[in-house]
Structure 1
Amino acid sequence: MMDEFNASKPIYLQLADRINRMIVSKELQAGEKLQSVRDMAVSYNVNPNTIQRTYSELEREGILETRRGQGTFVTEQEDRLIRLRGNLKDEQIQSFVKVMQEMGYSSHEIISGLQEHFGQMNKGDA
């Protein structure tokens, strides 16, 4: 799945980000069971404690639910999944805008660049 991890961010948070993206992209569906802690640890070549911490963090955030004797599941609470989707979108936009501004682009240049980009994409759809 994921071969390398960024040394500047804890692995459990990187795994939580990956699971969140899988949920938002519908790779993981609401109510779907996740791999066991051991299986996920083998998949990512990390310590099972790291996976347990990832699952615990996402459970604390209300994204995952642990059902005793059954495993860990993606929440079926639609409001939490909608909030997750919005939060991930906002984070990506903020990151993109920050990088563009650091390179010296104005808000107007960023917006016109996006409009041009999407205009070209739409021409390709026609």
Structure 2
Amino acid sequence: MDEFNTSKPIYLQLADRVKRMIVSNELKSGQKLPSVRDMGVTYSVNPNTIQRTYSELEREGILETRRGQGTYVTEQEERLVRLRDILRKEQIQTFAQIMREMGYSSQEIITGLQDYLNKLEKGEE
């Protein structure tokens, strides 16, 4: 993520990135996140933006700040399962909405997706 979309606040874009990293197991349950300063350097943003990102994710119950120790991914598995489910639903909704706007029927969407996944499993994509 080198560039940010101007239509959405950077802290929310970073929050989405952290969520995707958690869902993909790039960040694991209980894992410590980089410091606000280090994360700011990584993404070339002000540390206050990272603090806002961490605060937002903490408010959502995805991160936990341990006084004097840092910020960690929650170890509450039910929250992580819920996060995974929410992200899956959001991606499917976005995909289906775009396909509908382009005029594809439900059956065309399903067939196209099945074909794509079959090719992917065979290593053709």
TM-score, structure 1 length as denominator?
0.94
Q: Judge which range, 30-39 or 110-119, deviates more.
A: 110-119
Spell out the pairing of 1:1-126 with structure 2 (5 A cutoff): 2-124=1-123
Q: CA deviation at 1:124?
A: 4.3
Q: Secondary structure at the match of 1:81?
A: helix
Give CA deviations for 1:69-93 in whole Å, capped at 9, x if unaligned.
Answer: 0000000000000000000000000
Distance in 2, Cα, partners of 1:85 & 1:94: 14
- Unaligned stretches of 5+ residues in structure 1: none
Shift of 1:121: 3.1
Q: Which runs of 4+ in 1 moved over 4 A?
A: none
Give, in angstroms, the shift of residue 123 of structure 1. 4.1
Unpaired runs of at least 5, structure 2: none
CA distance in structure 2 between the aligned counterparts of 1:82 and 1:41, rounded to whole angstroms: 28
Residue 123 to residue 47, structure 1, CA distance change in 2 (3 Å): closer
SS at match of 1:66: strand
Q: Distance in 2 between matches of 1:46 and 1:119?
A: 40
How many angstroms apart in 2 are the aligned matches of 1:122 and 1:46? 38
3-state SS of paired residue (1:28): coil
Residue type matched to 2:5 in 1?
A: N
Instruction: Give the number of equivalent residue pairs.
Output: 124
- The residue type equivalent to 2:70 in the other structure is G
Identity over aligned pairs, percent:
73
